[in-house]
Chain A
């Protein structure tokens, strides 16, 4: 095979790999991006079966456990949403504090969380939660982190 043909083949393979990579990226960004919603946006923005992140404050006195299943309510000051989670809550989970739950939701059901993220340390609030609370008028802290 001539040098020039060999080079053409290599360029063709490289282009094919690049096109595949771009396709994978575009499809991935369309299908696997997880949107963040506030409790008051849930009904409007959630499509059933699609993973979303729900963020807000855990309402005081709503945490109930049955076996390994934990149920609690999350609010942004406007709407309260019931969350159901089967598993260990993070170490920093507290009533009255910020939380992000990732999972799916369908109308008329509790939000089915597959992961629950609490803030990482006592001085830190997930940024999504801060946004949700500020928009809901519930933000009482100092300057946002």
Chain B
């Protein structure tokens, strides 16, 4: 019964979102139409929420008359993963996509912000069509409410790799980011239809862009963290096409967050900001296509129905066609350009956008190249980490070299000499890092330069913070309290980027690993530590059985124990690895338990990794997320006052 209500609610929501689109784009402008559009958006969001709740209830109650529940749930599963199972599959995740889009449409409809009436109703209208497109795809090509008759007694269970807290939160965060980019897209199309992208328009755009960027950052970070501790391969980023699918919209969002600032403060870059908003959502849709179509060979590619891939491509073509078409036709009507010098805040933000755009382009080429080669009959190839490390890293390094100058320069024309004088402590710290790393690593240039750039970003961010703090009035405490939120947020985000760089370079450049066959009681020396296998035994979890190994790790006087497991989920008939991780400030010791070395032998294969500075990666992501959240808070507070 609840299922029927859910399916019915989703169909009604489709009708309402179409109505919302028609009222915003086609219907003549009137107060009655605007009021009706607002009601349609709110009611639509409410109905999609009911549909999604119905699906969650079906998962919680293990209603095996639903095909998705049978395919992805099991009565033995802990409650948390029954709930998370609702979006841990293709159909449910598409319904989540619809839910986010509809809720954003309602929020956009309800909060007019500083927008004028004309732009506002166009944007809500476009958002209505975006939601409608997602609902059509969900209801007709991946219906989560499809029944099975007769209903089986038991389900197939959720892939055990996905039964994990970080991964329960990863899809909703990522979707908030992906779909969050649909609002800037709607605002961009509204600007093109109305023929203006002025400073007020950019003011309305910025909170949405920041919210999307913040959620994407955290979502990608969670996915990376999960891959690090759950897959047992010792790595955190594999340049897998699925990772690239989320990395490309993130790069576009990075550029958009910054270009929208210029459009708001100076009125410049209006056309470019509009174009970026279209490209950003286009890349988010492309990401959805890559992940959901099955063209990729990955754990994410659970859709094997080619019609779905084609349908996403059609939606992508519609969105990009409308976006680029309108842009080509109307871009000349947008905004005005105001001049700026080669050394100014504007020019720095221009370089920022240039760097992110070039990086996104390279990732796009590297991701699509294998598909193009295969389609052209050139055989099967894969483009992996060596390509991306050799291309994306230098571009980002160049971008990060100029980054600390940006916040130090004023609008229109900045004083490069003054900025350089203020930044000299950061430069000193970076050069010292470079020299020290070169000596310690016996002349390995690439990681030394990378670490130096990370330190340059962190120290540069601290210098900016200090300069702004000194400018305040009164005592130190008063200065700290009165410091604008925007300064806090920018410092946190830029320092976070530096911390992430330090971690990424340190882990990639200096990680070490070794495999050993150990009998209980036996030891192996590795990375300045002595690792001893203490014992191996059986262990029963709530819905799995495991082989657990306990290790003792001695590092000088510091002695700790850690365990690693191989888990067997009977519902999945496949083992998974639970690694043991010992974290220190300077890195992780990471232990994965393999299989018995030989048949009948008491020795087990153990793989040990030393991942230096790996915490900096996730710490940097958290700092960047914090920066985004603080900036969002500052913008919302400002628009509340206005």
Interface flag for B517 (CB, 8 Å):
yes
A53: interface (CB < 8 Å) = yes
Residues 48-75 of A contacting B (Cβ, < 8 Å): 53, 65-68
A-side contacts of B358, CB under 8 Å: 17-18, 21
A-B contact pairs, 22 of them (CB 8 A): A7-B342, A10-B350, A17-B398, A27-B390, A28-B386, A29-B366, A33-B382, A34-B384, A35-B379, A36-B380, A36-B381, A68-B597, A68-B605, A88-B232, A91-B232, A91-B577, A120-B299, A121-B572, A121-B574, A126-B297, A145-B294, A145-B304
B330 within 8 A of A: no
Closest chain-B Cβ to A132's Cβ sits at a distance in Å of 9
Binary flags per residue of A28-40, CB closer than 8 Å to B gives 1, else 0: 1101111110000
Q: Which residues of B contact A18 (CB under 8 A)?
A: 358
Min C-beta distance of B397 to chain A, whole Å:
11
Partner of B576 from the list A17, A65, A91 (CB cut-off 8 Å) is A91
The distance from the CB of A58 to the nearest CB of chain B, in whole angstroms, is 14
A145 vs B295: C-alpha distance in the bound complex, in angstroms? Answer: 10
Question: A91 contacts B159, CB within 8 Å?
Answer: no
Contacts of B572 in A (CB 8 A): 121-122
When chains A and B are docked, how far (Å) is the Cα of A68 from the Cα of B54?
50
Interface residues of B (CB under 8 A from A): 159, 232, 294, 297-299, 304, 339, 341-342, 347, 350, 354-355, 358, 361-362, 365-366, 369, 379-384, 386-387, 390-391, 394-395, 398, 515-517, 566, 572-577, 592, 594-595, 597-598, 603, 605, 607
Shortest distance between the CB of B514 and any CB in chain A (Å): 8
With a cutoff of 8 Å between Cβ atoms, the chain B residues found around residue A120 in the complex are 298-299
Residues of A at the B interface (CB closer than 8 Å) are: 1, 3, 6-7, 9-10, 14, 17-18, 20-21, 24-25, 27-29, 31-36, 53, 65-68, 86-89, 91-92, 120-122, 126-128, 131, 145
Asked whether B342 lies within 8 Å of A1 as measured between CB atoms, the reply is yes
Among B294, B361, B516, B574, the residue within 8 A (CB) of A92 is B574
Asked if A68 and B298 make an inter-chain contact with CB atoms under 8 angstroms apart, the answer reads no
- Of all chain B residues, the one with the shortest Cβ separation from A45 is B379
How many contacting A-B pairs (Cβ < 8 A)? 116
- Assembled-state Cα–Cα distance A56/B245 (Å): 27
- For the complex of A and B, 6 pairs with smallest distance between CB atoms: A6-B342, A32-B386, A36-B380, A68-B515, A88-B594, A120-B299
B592 to chain A, nearest CB (A): 6
Is A122 a contact partner of B573 (Cβ separation < 8 A)?
A: yes
Asked if B383 and A67 sit within 8 Å, CB to CB, the answer is: no
Report A-chain residues with C-beta under 8 Å of the C-beta of B339. 3
Contact A25–B362 (Cβ < 8 Å)? yes
Nearest chain B residue, comparing its CB with the CB of A35: B381
Q: Is the interface of B mostly helix, strand, loop or mixed?
A: mixed
CA distance A9 to B592 in the complex (A): 53
Taking CB atoms, residues of chain A closer than 8 Å to B294 are 145
Query: Which chain B residues border A35 with CB–CB below 8 Å?
Result: 379-381
Among B366, B384, B598, contact of A66 (Cβ-Cβ < 8 Å): B598
Q: Would you call A36 and B379 a contact (CB within 8 A)?
A: yes
Report yes or no: B354 in contact with A67, Cβ–Cβ below 8 A. Answer: no
In the complex, what residues of B have CB within 8 A of residue A3's CB? 339, 341
Is B598 a contact of A121 with CB atoms below 8 Å?
no
Are A28 and B390 touching (Cβ within 8 A)? yes
Known: A34-B381, A88-B515. A121 touches B299 (CB 8 A): yes
A101 to chain B, nearest CB (A): 13
CA distance A5 to B241 in the complex (A): 42
- Chain A neighbourhood of B297, CB < 8 A: 126-128
| List of B residues within 8 angstroms of A31 by Cβ | 386
The smallest C-beta distance from A19 to any residue of chain B, in angstroms, reads 11
**Beta-carbon contact of B383 and A32 below 8 Å:** yes
Q: Is the CB–CB distance between A87 and B574 below 8 Å?
A: no
Q: Which of A27, A53, A122, A128 contacts B574 (CB 8 A)?
A: A122
- Chain A residue contacts of B594, Cβ below 8 A: 88-89
